Structure 1
Amino acid sequence: MFETIIDYFESINPVLAALYATLFTWFLTALGASFVFFFKNMNRVVLDGMLGFTGGVMVAASFWSLLAPAIEMSKGEGFVKVIPAAVGFLMGALFIFALDKTLPHLHINFKETEGIKSPWQRTTLLVLAITLHNIPEGLAVGVLFGGVAAGIPEASIAGAVTLAIGIGIQNFPEGIAVSMPLRRMGMSRRKSFMYGQASAIVEPIAGVLGAVAVMFFIPILPYALAFAAGAMIFVVVEEVIPETQQDKNTDIATLGFIGGFIVMMTLDVALG
């Protein structure tokens, strides 16, 4: 089945492929958000475990799918070879850092508000927080498809599809993490779902933009891959992991992280 999927993606325009792949990641976010139609509450232990899993997938994807290919395709030896990855990684982290300090958003625990002070409702701020997480994820998928279009040997359709599958898997609990708290606040099931799935709409946008940018500016591919990796690692360390430490479920969250890392590493090595 995986071979059939790869054959299909190889037969279509890479930008269109990036769009379809990121629509898949959005769909799994929406699928997770749909749980609000069946449940009103999510056990905090389960939520922390799923968020830990999300962090593990993002860290593994950052190395296996993004940083390693970025270093491999860079020219030169020694320190020269790693410069594009190092610069891109730093720029990606600083990009999310800047957004984090300027874009108003609310953490899942509803206790910490960051960014410029805003009169926006807490529901909007929560959705913006998850949207912030999804920008580098969509960008990562799009950049890989753009690398394929540019004819870069280290970029493959299989690798891009595998990354989309991994990100889609970890998007599922993210959809739950948005819709369930909104439902507990008294919002209707329908509105909770709509807000939950809307948080991932940015992924197809970032995916297409990433693919187009790399196609027109081939030399930036190593920087772009590392940029996406730096952005994802910043999100994991600054947002995802601290969120799992709010209660007394640190062991569950850690095991979830390990599980997510193993799943993404296995997918990337076995399929990508």
Structure 2
Amino acid sequence: MSSEVVEVAEVEAGVVQITMQDREHKNTFSRALVAGLMDAFLHVRDTERYRAVVLTGYDTYFCSGGTKEGLLMLHQGQGKFTDMNIYSVPLDCEIPVVSAMQGHGIGGGFVFGLFADCAVLSRESVYTTNFMKYGFTPGMGATYVLPKKLGMPLAEEMLLGARTYRGAELEKRGIPFPVLPRSEVVAHARQLARDLADKPRVSLVTLKRHLVAGMRARLPAIIEQEIAMHDTTFHQPEVKARIERVFDN
């Protein structure tokens, strides 16, 4: 099953690839992309023959975070980022997920990729948690998953500074993920998934449940703290001006 912007394909026995390709919105979290991802992961849940997932984007985009519309709605107090509940879908998936971040990972889009069990980055692409560039504090579980996956010093730098990093720079900083030329990212991710899919599904599900139990238990409290920070920071007049300026450039 696939939607117009999310393609789902069993690329080999036991390995399913979910490809985000909302070209109109450059893989920001549009309504269509979010709905397509939720449907794709429901399909994975209901398909017993799958043993590993490869999650990727198209061309130079992996996932680009919030839309201008969505961010302005949050600024106006019309909802919370938890309303779409997309950020932890890779973590909640029963079977292992490999995020093949062949393209740019921006804001919540980079966070989304980090919630996978394994990640592969591109040397050429840019990665950023740019929430503070808009003037509001991070959400989507960023304040938890970045320190967890990248280490606190780099996480603090990325979250507070909100600047962009090439994958090659993150590689030099010692991130614990493969960083490869863009053309090799998906192939490497598929090989990781192939190695996983060689194992019995029940064993994969059981071990993943054990490995991520702490993250699944801790995350809800972190999300509540992030929402509380949003209540303080998101509704400043400056935030609206920053959102409009960034998206209009």
Question: Which bin holds the TM-score, normalised by the shorter protein?
Answer: 0.3 to 0.5
> Larger relative contact order (C-alpha < 8 A, sep ≥ 6)?
1
Structure label with greater radius of gyration: 1
Structure in which a larger fraction of residues adopt helix: 1
